[in-house]
Amino acid sequence: MIELALRGAEVIGLHLSDIDWQRRRRFLPATKTERGRELPIPERVFFALRDYVNHARPGQTPPTMFLFGIPGALGSLCRMVY
């Protein structure tokens, strides 16, 4: 998620509602040190996220972008982003 300029914790905490799918933008809520921000999503990343949500993400309704119910999934994602 380097192309999105996201910190590891921001990737793990990314919610489906943080993505404006019409405008291809992402919203990051305010943190302790800065205000919230809205930034464009690079085209390649946008299409990858869209394909993940439409085809690879199980049809469950948790608000988080990435699901961690699969054994080892959270650890794998943590290793990728940290």
pTM above 0.75, yes or no: no
Contact in structure between 56 and 73 (CB atoms under 8 Å): no
Q: What's the CATH class of domain 2-81?
A: mainly alpha
Domain boundary assignment for the chain? 2-81
pLDDT at 20: 94
What are the distances in angstroms from CA 9 to CA 3, 22, 55?
15, 25, 24
Helix/strand number for the chain, H first, E second? 3, 3
Q: What is the mean pLDDT of each run of 10 residues along the chain (82 residues)?
A: 68 85 88 80 88 77 69 52 48
DSSP 81: H
- Residue 22 has a pLDDT of 94
Q: What is the DSSP string of 49-80?
A: HHHIIIIIS-S---SBSS---STTHHHHHHHH
